[in-house]
Amino acid sequence: MGVRLVVTDDHRLLAEALAAALQLRGHRVLAVGTPVGAAAELVAHRRPEVCLLGVAHPEEPGSFDVVRRIRRERPEVAVVVMGRVSHLAGVAAALAAGAAGYVRQDERIEGVERALNRVRVGESAIAPELLQAVFEHLLRPVAEPDGEAARLLRLLTRREVEVLVRITEGEDTREIAEGMAIARARPAPMSSGC
């Protein structure tokens, strides 16, 4: 069974082409809209499982206010952003706003479809190499100041930064716990009723 979704993009032709391609692949497109700012209204009225949000300029401030609004008003709807990856701060901002996935704007339709299917079942959908690049960007910012990346980085504790670095290096949960000397949580003792 296909994904029930809303497709929006800053470019109407791209939104319509994506919707048509996804329908041919068995997905149910409930609405197509432009500009991206219309996504929250479409989601509110159509109640899809996923919103595919094509953003032309992810690096611009406020680009993902609509994602925050969707997550606030319809938390059950997963959002997949499709945009450029040349500005990693924009990718980070999309994820910080609550996007469950991010795909490159030049991704093949199969990649977009995989992302939609993953977020529909509650998983994240971002290519590991892109996620690693975003972490690197946030942890080792370039010389030019980036307010959003700096803000996000300041929210993390030193320990959280260490965990993120280990994730980008490919360590799994067990390796991270062992490497950071984190003990497994033990169940709390049961107290007798008084």
pLDDT in tens, 103-126: 988 889 999 999 999 999 988 888
Residue 52 lies in a domain: yes
On whether residue 153 sits in a domain, the answer given is: yes
> Is residue 156 in some structural domain?
yes
Same domain, 28 and 65: yes
Please say which residue of 126, 143, 166 terminates a domain. 126
Are 117 and 139 members of one domain? no
Residue 100 shares a structural domain with residue 66:
yes
Contact criterion met (CB below 8 Å) for 162 and 171: no
* Residue 88 within a domain: yes
Same domain for 113 and 19: yes
Domain residues for 142?
A: 135-179
Q: Are residues 39 and 79 in the same domain?
A: yes
Percentage of the chain beyond pLDDT 90 is 29
Q: Is residue 115 domain-resident?
A: yes
> Do 118 and 151 sit in the same domain of this protein?
no
The arrangement of strands across the sheet holding 101-104 comes to: 28-33, 4-9, 50-55, 78-83, 101-104, 125-126
Which pLDDT band, with edges at 50, 70 and 90, does 60 fall under?
confident
**192 within domain boundaries:** no
User: How confident is the model over 121-132, as a mean pLDDT?
Assistant: 84
pLDDT at position 84: 85
Question: pLDDT tens digit string along 65-96?
Answer: 899 999 999 999 999 999 888 778 888 888 88
Question: Average pLDDT in the 129-149 region?
Answer: 71
pLDDT on residue 20: 94
Residue 194 covered by a domain = no
Same domain, 111 and 147: no
Total domains in the chain come to 2
Does 53 lie in the same domain as 16?
yes
Helices 39-46 and 65-73: crossing angle, nearest 10°?
20
C-alpha radius of gyration, the chain, whole number: 19
Residue 5 above 90 pLDDT? yes
For the CA atoms of 141, 143, 147, 149, the dihedral, rounded to the nearest 10 degrees, stands at -10
